[in-house]
Amino acid sequence: MRLHRLDYSCYARFVQSTLDLAKVPFELVDVRYGDRDALATLTGGYIQVPVLELDDGTVLVDSRRIVEHLVEHEPRVAALVPEGDAALVWAFVDFANGAVEDFAFRLASPQIAERFDRPFERALFTFVKERKFGTGCLRTWEAEADTLYAGLVGVLRPTIRSLRHRPFLVGREPTLADLALLSQFQMMDLGAPDRVAQLFIEHDVLRAWRERLDTRLGPPPYGRIAAQHRATAEMESRLREAPEASGRLEKIVIRPAKHERLVVDTARLSVEGGLEGDDWATLDGNPERQLTLMDARVADAIAGREDWELFGDNLFVSFDLSMASLKTGDRLRLGETSLEITDEPHLGCRKLAARFGPEALRFVNHKSVREARRRGIYARVVDGGSIRVGDQLSRA
């Protein structure tokens, strides 16, 4: 069984989490947004996701039809729709994929558009949205994010009240209803993670519900969590003033493989490979994301130094990384090397919330601090060479 998806699609995530919770084995196939030839060949011309390819060669399309088929033919999935509550379960599925999705996808779409590597894919995503919702819709939704968030909270109020009285939406065990709602949050994890964090901070009952559901699904493999999840007030009080025009390298972190971290005192940077020994070249390779830098004072406000490597950044520096301080194309000298700031946005995601708590995600991603670049920046290597903890960082 193979599930073809776009990772941000709430509909594909609904099918995926259904298979995950039911413990039905399947292979995940990520579709490239701007290249759907294989998908069109498989389906005979249908290019939307999700598409489920069964072991007998049957090809199913449309999330609702896929899940209905699974309920009818797969007992492990059928168990997620208790007969006595079937009407409630399917009604909530339709509610989540309707009223909730109306707000969730508008909140997520502007940032999802920026996730595509190729300009063509960003333009195509924007074109598709504007054909349906009007010219400039992404900019409008970004400007109206506070209103959209209020609307999301409004439609979720009955759900929040229900979850105060039971662990899951329909009872003591998760059903398709829970997975339909989860899929909306999974889409927002990729496109509006700060709003998910805000929602869980303001409505702890939702956070507790998701933690219970994640436990049933098997928590995302984000590695260990930080020793402490600090409250926003504490993080704000710990945040020191930005350094002057020059600073120093405080910590070097190499990521040899997924969720592995190697803290070193010295390292080498190269134009071709970035930070030598890091998994950037094998897992990403985008030159605009060759290196990540994080302001050490922000890292210190969120977590103890022993947990800094959990951020996943390469270089922790005592330097002002804000938009007011550094522009795209600006260069920095670090030891023997030279770095150039890229325009790739670096924002917190579900991983950061899982490791440091939702308040930390909100602390770095809230729109009021976006220009401060609390989450950090991306850079590429212009001149390679050796770097060492304690090296001076200055403008080139």
Q: CATH number for the domain including 375? A: 2.40.33.20
Cβ distance 269 to 379 under 8 Å?
no
Q: How far apart are CA 112 and CA 313, in angstroms?
A: 21
Based on the fold, state whether residues 103 and 178 are members of the same structural domain.
yes
pTM equals 0.83
Of 45, 78, 111, which residue constitutes the final position of a domain?
78
Find the CATH number of the domain harbouring 25: 3.40.30.10
Whether residue 227 is contained in a domain is answered as no
- Predicted pLDDT at 351: 86
Find the CATH number of the domain harbouring 134: 1.20.1050
Whether residue 222 is contained in a domain is answered as no
Based on the fold, state whether residues 329 and 204 are members of the same structural domain.
no
Based on the fold, state whether residues 57 and 141 are members of the same structural domain.
no
- Predicted pLDDT at 259: 77
Based on the fold, state whether residues 238 and 379 are members of the same structural domain.
yes
Domain region containing 50: 2-78
Sequence-ordered alpha helix ranges (H) in 44-117: 63-73, 75-78, 86-95, 101-113
The rounded Cα 54 to chain-centroid distance in angstroms is 29
The residue among 349, 240, 348 whose CA lies nearest residue 301 is 240
Question: How many C-beta atoms lie closer than 10 Å to residue 35's C-beta?
Answer: 10
Degrees to nearest 5, angle at CA 7 with 27 and 3: 25
In a structure prediction context, what are the per-residue pLDDT tens digits for the chain, which is 396 residues long?
999 999 999 999 999 999 999 999 999 999 999 999 999 999 999 999 999 999 999 999 999 999 999 999 999 999 999 999 999 999 999 999 999 999 999 999 999 998 887 899 999 999 999 999 999 999 999 999 999 999 999 999 999 999 999 999 999 999 999 999 999 999 999 999 989 999 999 999 999 999 999 989 986 667 788 999 999 999 999 998 766 667 899 999 999 987 789 999 999 999 999 999 998 877 777 888 899 999 999 999 999 999 999 999 999 999 999 999 999 999 999 999 999 999 887 888 888 988 999 999 999 988 888 899 999 999 999 999 999 999 999 988
Based on the fold, state whether residues 210 and 238 are members of the same structural domain.
no
Q: Is 48 helix (H, G, I), strand (E, B) or coil?
A: coil
Whether residue 292 is contained in a domain is answered as yes
Whether residue 137 is contained in a domain is answered as yes
Whether residue 132 is contained in a domain is answered as yes
Based on the fold, state whether residues 96 and 20 are members of the same structural domain.
no
Based on the fold, state whether residues 90 and 74 are members of the same structural domain.
no
What is the rounded (10 degree) CA torsion for 274, 276, 279, 283?
Answer: 40
Q: Considering its fold, how many domains does the chain have in total? A: 3
- Predicted pLDDT at 243: 61
Based on the fold, state whether residues 259 and 336 are members of the same structural domain.
yes
Degrees to nearest 5, angle at CA 233 with 232 and 236: 85
Q: 365 vs 56, 98, 191, 344, 351, CA distance in Å?
A: 45, 27, 12, 15, 13
Q: How far apart are CA 114 and CA 36, in angstroms?
A: 20
Based on the fold, state whether residues 112 and 135 are members of the same structural domain.
yes
Whether residue 224 is contained in a domain is answered as no
Based on the fold, state whether residues 138 and 201 are members of the same structural domain.
yes
Task: Give the DSSP letter of residue 380.
Answer: E
Based on the fold, state whether residues 64 and 30 are members of the same structural domain.
yes
Whether residue 64 is contained in a domain is answered as yes
Of 217, 249, 267, which residue constitutes the final position of a domain?
217
Of 160, 188, 217, which residue constitutes the final position of a domain?
217
Whether residue 364 is contained in a domain is answered as yes
Based on the fold, state whether residues 155 and 189 are members of the same structural domain.
yes
